[in-house]
Amino acid sequence: MIRSATPLSCPVCDSAAPIVRQLPAGEIRATLEGLFGAAMPQSVPAQDYALRECDGCGLVFADPMVAGDGAFYGWITAFERYHAGARWEWGVIKDQIRQAQSKTMLEIGAGAGRLMDFLGDVAGLSCVGIDVSESSVEAARKNGHDVRVAAFTDLNSVLSADETFDAIVLSHVLEHVSDPRGVMTTLLKRLNPGGKLMAAIPYSPMSRELTDWDIMNLPPHHLTRWNAQSLEGLARALGCKVQLHAAKAKSPLKRAVQDTCGEVLGDKHPANLTRAWVVLTHIGLFQRYLAKHKRRDVVNGQIAGDSVLAVFYR
């Protein structure tokens, strides 16, 4: 198994982080192929991983902290199901920008400019986007957006030294990077006084991860797994405060019914009468799922959904 020769410390708070799970390359490949129903090209390199959990802030992270390469992402992004539609956090981002009367915004991982389209009715807002994909940048430019080709670790190549912003947004980017604290530190230097740095990320463990962790929330796709504790640890490391906005979760009852039907029938959405029959005939299983969903973290007074928007500010 290829991992660091010496124990890794947490990339957020530098605390000790023992191994909690091994992820052999063959297991990763087989699970991804089963999920997407297609063979992964042999050109995608195999990599064994371990998962470590920080004793200090609770962050779970990959060992090694090496993301999938271009061949991996070329394969995985070719599937339509990989791409999300409109995201709930966009509305919160718009509210944050309006409340702060932000005039300038930088979006990391802007893609074809869909968030910028959504923010098009915010009066006086000027947006700049960064994305590594040339085809996505071309599409964004055709829609009239200022999006530039660069890796988010190389902002100086496309931003002038004095280019700063009232708001900076990362939409499902932070979980993919190998140095989250370093990336956020760099972005904070581009933030105007009183500005907000907003990061949308999966909230782990996600509700569907009761029996096993989701392969799409593991390396080589996601290098880090975040919750309220680890996000607060990141804020402390950055010298910031953080406010969390959580997606609205389905009720524990609905989740438990869905998961029970999924385990018994392989179908999480059967007819109403069938759902009732499954629950009544597998009441012990249903009760175990219900208890687990009720134990999920609470964020801002409600059970956490599957994603969170973390707003960092000073």
pLDDT tens string 147-181: 999 887 888 889 998 999 999 999 899 999 999 99
Output the pLDDT for position 125.
Answer: 97
Q: Among 38, 117, 30, 112, which residue's Cα sits nearest to residue 78?
A: 38
Q: Which residues, in sequence order, are CB contacts of 169 under 8 Å at separation 6+?
A: 93, 105, 106, 107, 108, 115, 198, 199, 200
Q: Among 250, 246, 233, 168, which residue's Cα sits nearest to residue 202?
A: 246
Output the pLDDT for position 70.
Answer: 83
Residues of the chain where predicted confidence (pLDDT) is lower than 50: 1-6
Does the CA dihedral 93-94-99-105 come out positive or negative? positive
Output the pLDDT for position 301.
Answer: 83
**Structure tokens belonging to residue 201:** 């990320």
Give the neighbor-by-neighbor strand order of the sheet with 19-23: 19-23, 49-53, 60-63, 224-225
DSSP E strand boundaries for 229-301: 241-248, 298-299
Q: Tell me: the pLDDT tens digits for 217-255?
A: 999 999 999 999 999 999 999 999 999 998 777 888 988
DSSP assignment string, 184-226: HHHHHTTEEEEEEEEEEEEBSS-GGGSSS--GGGSTTT-SEEB
β partners of residue 114: none
Output the pLDDT for position 87.
Answer: 86
Output the pLDDT for position 249.
Answer: 79
**Domains of the chain with bracketed CATH:** 19-81 (no CATH), 86-249+298-313 (3.40.50.150), 252-294 (no CATH)
